Structures are given as structure tokens and as C-alpha cells.
Chains A and B, each alone.
Chain A
Amino acid sequence: MQRFIFLTLDGLSHGAVYAAFALAIVLIHRSTRVVNFAQGAIAVASAYVGYSVAAGSGSYWLGFIAALLSGVIFGALIERVVMRPVEQGPPLNPVIVALGLVLVIQAILGMIYGNDFKPLPTPFSRTAWTIGGVAVLSPYDLFVFGAVLTLMVGLALLFSRTKAGLRMRASAFAPEVSRLLGVNVGRMLTLGWALAAAAGALAALLVIPTELGLNPNAMDLVFVSAFTAAVVGGIDSPAGAVIGGLGVGLVLSYVTGYSSSDVTPIAVLILLVAVLLLRPGGLFTSTRIRQV
């Protein structure tokens, strides 16, 4: 039982990060119909900016803010300059451009910072509190949950309560009509990418300290897990992204804990196939076409 509690909480804390990242993927897919394969690389680049600022200024929080801001800037820049020309054409081309971007970003980071692992600091201790001898959460885990929750609530409020959110949803759902109604669709797309990149930067800041360290390839595997989570939840559903992220985190934790770490990718594949066989559009999809 103790082990179960430990594995559950461990899985949830990793899952929260996957949820944040999956949200970023869903955000971009909803607005531009593009699966952003460069999400991880952009997040790492933002994390490096945060690392430099934190190391230079000595303050974690300054680095944190710098990372999120740079995420916004990178996301907006990339959408405007690199992705805009290919968004309209064949659907595979943005994927290729994104993959090319991954190579470029990771190579440039390697050239500037080197390929070594750099330690990312954490603002709170990672030593877990114990209840009755069982290690439960640490202050850092609570920070992770809090940050991801703030992100989700923030995005939900943005989309449902603000005018900008309404415009963004309209641009994604019906671009022509929105243009007719005076919405600058292009600017909304850029805004969507900027927000998603900031979410990705947050996820990177949260997860990298728990892994091997900051290096250009740090988010590759997180991207795969988060993409799986997004697909499981339904790639157009933010709620699905969150549930999917938490689910993937739990599955990975249980499988590593009860079986062995080799089997975890297979478990994820089985989860994915099982969900998609039952609901080909993911868990929270809404049926678009009914075929009689």
C-alpha cells in the first residue's frame, strides 16, 4: 500500500508536467491544425535563457520569468517567420519544417552552451515529507502542481472569459467568418503559438531539474510522452490533454515500479492503442462526422 501511494504521487507529479506540455500541443493544434514537433526544442531554448539569467543574476525567479518571456517571444517569432509560409500548404510540410527547426535549435544550443548537462536549480526543496514513514510529496512537487494548475486555470479563463480568448477560439474554428467580423486571424495564431511556447517553457523548467540536467536533447522524451497524452485525451481537447497527461504519468510510474523500467514504453503503446481502438479520436473527442 505504501508503495502504491508513493508511486501514485510520483506519477501524478510527473503527469502534471506532461499535462502542461500536452496542453501546449493541443493549443497549437486547435489554432493551426499543426502538430508542433518543435515544441520540446523551443521549450529547452527558453529553459536555457532562464538558466543563463538565473546564473547571472543569482535569482531563480528572475530566471523563471525570463524563461517564460523568452518562450513567448520564441513562439511568436517562429510562427510568424517560419511556420506562416507553410501553414496553408500540404499538411506534412509544417511537420518537416518543425523537425528542421528542432535540428537547428538543438545544434545552436549545443554550439553556444556545449552538449554537457547543466544543473537547473529548483526554488523549493526536493526532499519529501514523510507521513508514517512513507515519503509523500515534497515542497517542489507542490510547486509543480500549483504551477500547472495556475496555467490551466489561467488558460481556461483566458479562453472563456476574455475577448482575446474568444477571438482566438473563433480564428481556430472558423477563420473566414472571423476575418469577415474583423478579427486579425494571423495575430491570433501568433498569440496562440506564443502562449503554447510559454506553457512548454514552464513544463521544461518544472521537469528538467528532476532528470539528468539541462542539455539540448532534454525534452525529446517528454515530447513523446506528452504527445501520447495529447492523442489519448483527444488532440483538440484541453481537458483531455490534462487527463491524458496525468494518466500517462501514472501508467509510467506504476509500470516502472511494479514491473521494470524496460517495459514502460510498451505499456504506453498499449495504453495508446487501447484508447484509440475504442475511441479513434481520443477520449474527449466530439464526433464531427457521422457515417451511416
Chain B
Amino acid sequence: MFTLLRNFLITAGAGIVLFGLTYAVEPFRDYQLATVAAYLCATAGLTVLIGLNGQVSLGHGALMAVGAYTVALVQNAFADANHYAQWTIVVSLLLGIVAALVAGVVIGLAAARLRGPYLAGVTLAVAVVVPAFATVFSGTFKGDQGLSVAVPPPPEALGLDFPVERWQAWLALIAALLVMLLLANLAGSRYGRMFRAVRDNEVAARLAGIHVARTQVLAFVVSAACAGLAGGMFAILSQSVSPSAFSLTLSLYLLLAVVLGGLGSLAGAVWGAVALVLLPELLSSLTNAMDLSPAAAQRLEGNLPLAIFGLTLIVVMIGAPSGIQGAINRLTRRIRKPQESRLTKGGATT
């Protein structure tokens, strides 16, 4: 009970600060904040799955696509029936989560017996297949072109001058905070302990009475629902869905974000989401700041940021394998307990 209350207070506090922030920044930054929050829904679920439960998924982009397309279809159906109220967004998102949940159950059941590279292989195939669904059933999903999503404008009660981006940031932040609260409670609960037990030693967990397959499926389904919410949020933010927005590259970037931020840690998921949005922009402005001849610029533009991004990943993985949050933890431990580290020589690390 103490844990629940504590998590709720932290979430509420963060919420208040972040909502204040949306007023302090200009619309473009609000949009970026919204994007970070949407990514956070997915990375938080993924870090629980990989970090706490030990199942590697290369296909979470596909689960985001399931949520996104569901939201797109439902929103467009509402618009066709002339419903433009705000509650349509909630309904669409809930349906998106349900759809991703169902997909998660299916994949989770198929994957429950698989480990390591085999699980990676299946989830990789899923990541590649989902765009194909859009082209096969192109009547509904309009193939490579995708659908545009009809989204109601911000409520008039907020004033006519209210920037759309701030409203989008609010929606995304609410979703992200809810996800973080849920996952924090889950990680600290009995289920969280079951996830970790299966990750660390499957045989021992089974001997302790944990139903391994059920635990695996539950972890997968939870992370799938989070990914579905993230995808649905993206559909609302960008007002469009298309297969190339949810390609294999997205699934791999989610994985990168989660490991870069620090596997298994919700704070790490935050770092990962922030990196996904800020790093490309930072690198692009770096390249734009350099004065290049047009021929060189054409070659470097687009490629140089990617090269630096890749290099950053390699360096961070070699230098700080537990990601950003791991590095922060090491720093804070050293600050907080200098004496203890001398006492526990060769010390246990958590």
C-alpha cells in the first residue's frame, strides 16, 4: 500500500511539473514533448519485457502499428458518423490497446516456448510482416500510402488560441504517466517478482511453483498493450498512419532506446525515449552548422547524423554497458556511500 501511494505521489508530482512545462515552451518543443511521451509508453513496456522478464522482442514496432491502425480506423469511423467530441479519442485509444493486447496474446502464446535467437527471429518476422498486412488488405488499410486520421481539435473551453501542440502534449503526457504508474506498481508487485524469477532461472522458478509459460505470456501482453497505446498516440499526434512509419527500423530503434537508457529500469525508459527524439535533431543541427559545399552537403546530409548516432551507440555500449541509468546509478552510489564501497571490496552490485 505504501508502494502504491508513493508511486502515485511521484507520478502526480511529475505530472504537475510537466504540465507547467508545456506552458513554458514554444509549440515545437511541445510537439517534441508529446513525441517523447508517446515513445515512453512503448519503451517502458519494452524495458519491462526485456529487462525484467528476459524476453527479447524485435517486433514491438509492429505492435505499435496494430494500435495505430486501430485508432486510425475508429477515429475515421467516428468522423464519418459526425462525432467530433473528445471522448472519441479515449474510446479509440482503448480499442487500440485492446487490439494490441490481442495481438500480444497471439504472439506471446506462439513465443512462450521460444528462447533467445528463436524468439528474436519470430519477433523479427512479425516486425516485417505487419507492413505487409497493410498492402494485402489494401482496401481497408490503403497499402503503402496509409490513412490520415481525423482528430478533433482541442476543446473550445481552452480558448481559440490554444496551440494544438500543447493539447497534444497533454494527451500524450497523461498516457505516459498512466503507463509509468502502472508499470512501476507491476514491477514492484508479485508479478514483477515472477518476471524476474523466470528471467534468472527458469527451472528454479518452475520448482518454486511459478507457471513459466503464463508468466511469459503475461509479460508479453503487458508490453504489447503499452506499445499499442504508444502507436495509437502516434496516430493522433501525426494525424496519419502508414506502414513505413512502423517498419523494422522502428522496432530496432525501440530496442536501442531501451538498452541505451538502461535495461530494466523505468527511468532508463525515459532516457531512451528522450534520446530517440533529441539525438537525431541534435546531430542534424550539428551537420547543418558545418559549412559544406553543395556536393559534399548532399553526401553528408542524412548520412553524417546516422554515422554519429551509430558511433554513439557503440561507444556507450562498450563504455557503459548498463546504459545511461546504469551510469547514473554508479555515480550516485559513489556519492552516497563512499565508505561502504571500501568495506565491501569487490562489492556486490545491484
Chain A residues near B (Cβ < 8 Å): 29, 35, 82, 85-86, 89-93, 95-97, 99-108, 110-112, 114-115, 224, 227-228, 230-231, 235, 262-266, 268-269, 272-273, 276-277, 280-282, 291
In the complex, chain B residues whose CB is within 8 Å of the CB of A281: 118
What's the nearest-Cβ distance from chain A to residue B212, in Å? 10
In the complex, chain B residues whose CB is within 8 Å of the CB of A264: 132
Centre residue among B114, B115, B255, B321 by max chain A CB count within 10 A: B321
A269 and B307 in contact, given A99-B252, A227-B124, A280-B114 (Cβ under 8 angstroms): no
Contact, CB under 8 Å: B314 / A224: no
Pick the contact of A104 from B118, B260, B302, B310 — CB < 8 Å? B310
Pick the contact of B317 from A29, A96, A265, A272 — CB < 8 Å? A96
Chain B residues near A (Cβ < 8 Å): 50, 56, 110, 113-118, 120-122, 124-126, 128-129, 131-133, 135-136, 138, 203, 248, 252, 255-256, 259-260, 263, 298-300, 302-304, 306-307, 309-314, 317-318, 321
A97 and B314 in contact, given A268-B125, A269-B125 (Cβ under 8 angstroms): yes
What's the nearest-Cβ distance from chain B to residue A138, in Å? 29
Contact, CB under 8 Å: A103 / B124: no
A265 to B132, CA, bound (A): 7
Contact, CB under 8 Å: A266 / B126: no
A107 and B306 in contact, given A29-B117, A231-B118, A235-B117 (Cβ under 8 angstroms): yes
In the complex, chain A residues whose CB is within 8 Å of the CB of B125: 224, 228, 265, 268-269, 272-273
Pick the contact of A111 from B132, B299, B311 — CB < 8 Å? B299
What's the nearest-Cβ distance from chain A to residue B48, in Å? 14
In the complex, chain A residues whose CB is within 8 Å of the CB of B121: 227-228, 230-231, 235, 272, 276
A273 to B112, CA, bound (A): 12
- Name A35's closest neighbour in chain B (CB-CB): B117
In the complex, chain A residues whose CB is within 8 Å of the CB of B314: 82, 97, 100-101, 104
What's the nearest-Cβ distance from chain B to residue A291, in Å? 7
A264 to B133, CA, bound (A): 10
Contact, CB under 8 Å: A100 / B132: no
